[in-house]
Amino acid sequence: MANILDDECMELIKKLHDGKMRHHPRVRSLIDRALRTGDCGPLKEFVRRYPAILAAAELNIAGEAIQQLDNPFKPYPSRDEVRRLLNRGFVRLGYVNEFDDMFSVHPDLFCTHVMNAGGIGTGKSALTKYVAAQLMNGPGMHRVLIADLKREYRNLVPLCSSLRVLRNKFLDINPWEVPEFRTPQDHIFATAKVWISENYLLGTSLNELINILEGMYRARGIFDGGINYPTMTDIYRVVTAMLNNSRLGRYVDVLRWLQNRLLPYTFSDNFNCRFGIGFDVFRDQNLVLEMDTRFTDHMYNFLLAYLADLIYSHNKEKGLTGSKLRNLFVVDEGRILFNAHRDISEFGESVLNEIVSKSREYGVGFWVSSQETSSFNQVIRSLCRLKIAFPLTDAKDLEFVQGSYGLNDDQKQHLFKLSETRQAVVRYSGFERPFLLGVPPFEPEREVTDQELEAAMGSFYAEIAKRIVRPEQKPLQVSETVAPDATTLLFNLSRAPFTKVSDMTKFSAFASPEGVAKALTWLSDHGYVERHEYRTSKRGRKSNYYPLTEKAYSFLGEKPPAGKGGFEHRLYQDIICRWLTENGVKAKIETPIKKGSPKTCDVLARSGDHGLKAYEVTLHFENLLQNLHEDLAAGADEVVVVTRDQETMEKAIRTVSADERLTPHLDRISFATMSDFFV
């Protein structure tokens, strides 16, 4: 039976291994023999006779330690590691060591998606163009579809003869047109699901939209083979007609949300066609979709999610399996499409999450870029086998990169030292450790003008134009054209009126303060909202709020909220009620103190310990005494008078003390300021 190797022998073997001495044939043979037989004697004798072997190993180990002090990503991938593990296909990404060996991958890797993060000007987009150009010029049946918000990928046309560019004015599509591989019923359900998801609506809206579409398809004979497909404007008109004839509150809300989301599409010629660009163009061409204008964020999300779902469903229906890349979606603004801040509890998951999770088997991949790692939702983070990070400086970004890429603390700190351009950190599932990537310079020689592009794409545009059919134009009856983003914010504020400006980016449709500011400016300039400042926290400056005006409620077709007092009064009611609820107390606004009692209070709290406690927000003193008498008479166990600040609280105390009728009840009356309810 073989002897067990002692600690001294194991330490010797480890030192020779870490010191890169296993490449020596005799050392490798003796180590293998020791591990196989448990006899370390021959290995020890060899090292004793040739001390230079052990000295070289120790020198190599020390050298690596010194290198790591300067660059914790050293040692770089060796030539042997590159040959065995990092050279997998014709798509080259960049240099990985001092020998300028290239990290290259097979296109099929992109079926498992790529996450590409980096600040402005660091080389993120240059790498994307470098890879896209190789894919379009390389062998294989795969196709690349690029969503372009900056009109920069058209510059690849001189380098890629197969690339076609759809300028925004030529991007005509009718998502309700049924493709050949789907039945009308399946298409209604699938496309309605995508549209509801990417326009941030609820499941009730999905059911109603499906019912509306089924009725329209039936009336137009589409279930029987007809091709009179409805447009977004047609659907908007039907919803508006239903809304005008309905009086049921909840049903009206559903229709209003549908109408609100449909309205921006009616302003866009891109969706105003009976027949649009054929599905085969999006599936079979290397294509750039220029969406720098004409498309809101909702439209951008919907169009890409719709095309991804269509291609994924087609490949699945046709049995095109095997994890072979067929269609790669290149998304340069992951912040918009893969919104990590989406309120899943309210709007559910994006349908893209389902597509991304299942698309690998059917050859659909996503290359997603963004300037901040917080843009990537958890689905993308979990699925990507290849993750790339160019220089980032935000602390949260660095923490994410460290955790997701498996960096140690020294490597994390080294991210600050990366050169500003064309150097990135890579985490690749086919390699055991993160490594640095040097991206070759890649920039198209010049910018392609609109005139040059249309000259180069002339025959392509002429071919797709043959298929476009637009319906007869009928003017929409819209009282005032409200900007789409402003309309979205208006509806959000109607549902959450006490949202601070600083918190409005939490509305799912708004990912940036700039987008909120733009929409607020429009609404304010046109008289839909008014700006007010109130103190709602113990520290810092006053918070900005934008209450809706009568014009806004008229546009929404709603009545202003019930309740006493103006916006400030209702804001304070909301703050008190939320504070009580968060502290485990049941509370309601404007509710009778006891069942059947005509007297309501501003906020009523119910608890086993304190019974019924009525909170009266007191900004003015005309009704203070009357409220107290009525609350106590209605059965409140305690009444809390809440004022703006200490000065007005003292005035309230003096007012109450001066009323002799309240003297017997002073033990049931207390006072507070709003700051007592601030976080």
Give residue 37's pLDDT: 87
Bin 80: left if φ > 0, else alpha if -120 < ψ < 50, else beta: alpha
Distance CA 214, CA 176 (A): 11
- Clarify whether residues 443 and 303 are in a common domain: yes
Listed residue (274, 178, 252) closest to 208, CA to CA? 252
CB 549 within 8 A of CB 528: yes
Query: Which band of pLDDT confidence, cut at 50, 70 and 90, is reported for residue 278?
Result: very high
Residue 477 lies in a domain: no
Domain hosting 624: range is 567-677
352 & 428 share domain? yes
Q: Average pLDDT in the 449-454 region? A: 93
The number of domains in the chain is 5
Q: CA–CA separation, 529 vs 521, rounded Å?
A: 9
Distances (CA, A) of 136 to 143, 287, 327, 359: 7, 10, 11, 21
Residues 123 and 40 both lie in one domain: no
Same domain, 626 and 650: yes
| Same-domain status, 390 and 452 | yes
Q: Which residue has tokens 């794409």?
A: 457
Q: What is the pTM of this model?
A: 0.65
Residue 223 is given by DSSP the state G
Rounded CA separation 73/405 (Å): 12
Looking at the structure, do residues 268 and 290 belong to the same domain, yes or no? Answer: no
At 361, is the pLDDT very low, low, confident or very high (cuts 50, 70, 90)? very high
Task: Look at residue 355 and tell me if it is in a domain.
Answer: yes
pLDDT, tens digit (0-9, with 9 covering 90-100), for 128-154: 999 999 999 999 889 999 999 889 999
In terms of domains, do 47 and 103 share one?
no
Q: Are residues 409 and 513 in the same domain?
A: no
Give per-residue pLDDT as tens, 250-263: 678 888 889 889 98
- Which helix (H) or strand (E) is 615 found in, with range? strand 611-617
Q: Is 463 domain-assigned?
A: yes
Same domain, 627 and 596: yes
Mean pLDDT (the chain) is 87
What percent of the chain shows pLDDT beyond 90?
47
Per-residue pLDDT tens digits for 108-120: 999 999 999 888 8
> Do both 412 and 512 map to the same domain?
no
CATH for 606:
3.40.1350.10
Identify whether the C-beta of residue 145 lies closer than 8 Å to the C-beta of residue 289.
Answer: yes
**Distance in angstroms (rounded) separating the CA atoms of residues 408 and 524:** 50
Q: Which of 21-30, 325-334, 487-496 has the lowest mean pLDDT?
A: 487-496
Same domain assignment for residues 261 and 404: no
Q: Which of 16-20, 154-158, 495-499, 660-664 has the highest mean pLDDT?
A: 154-158
Whether 76 is covered by a domain: the verdict is: no
What are the tens digits of pLDDT across the range 99-109?
889 999 999 99
The Cα–Cα gap between 624 and 614 comes to: 13
Q: Does residue 376 sit within a domain?
A: yes
Between 336 and 412, the more confident residue is: 412
Q: Tell me if 186 sits within 8 A of 316, measured CB to CB.
A: no
The confidence band for 69, taking pLDDT boundaries of 50, 70 and 90, is: very low
CB 9 within 8 A of CB 44: yes
Q: Are the C-beta atoms of residues 486 and 519 closer than 8 Å to each other?
A: yes
- Check residue 617 and give left, alpha or beta (phi > 0: left; psi -120 to 50: alpha): beta
Pair type for strands 638-643 and 102-105: unpaired
Q: Are strands 364-370 and 114-117 parallel, antiparallel or unpaired?
A: parallel
**CATH label of the domain that carries residue 537:** 1.10.10.10
475 located within any domain: no
Cα 497 from Cα 490, distance rounded (Å): 9
Q: How far apart are CA 252 and CA 438, in angstroms?
A: 57
Centroid of chain to Cα 622: 50
Mean pLDDT on 377-391 = 85
Which CATH number does the domain housing residue 318 bear?
3.40.50.300
Domain annotation covers residue 472: no
Q: Provide, for the chain, the percentages of residues in helix, strand and coil under a 3-state DSSP scheme, each rounded to the nearest 5.
A: 50, 15, 35
The residues facing 205 across adjacent strands are none
Is residue 267 domain-shared with residue 148, that is, in the same domain? no
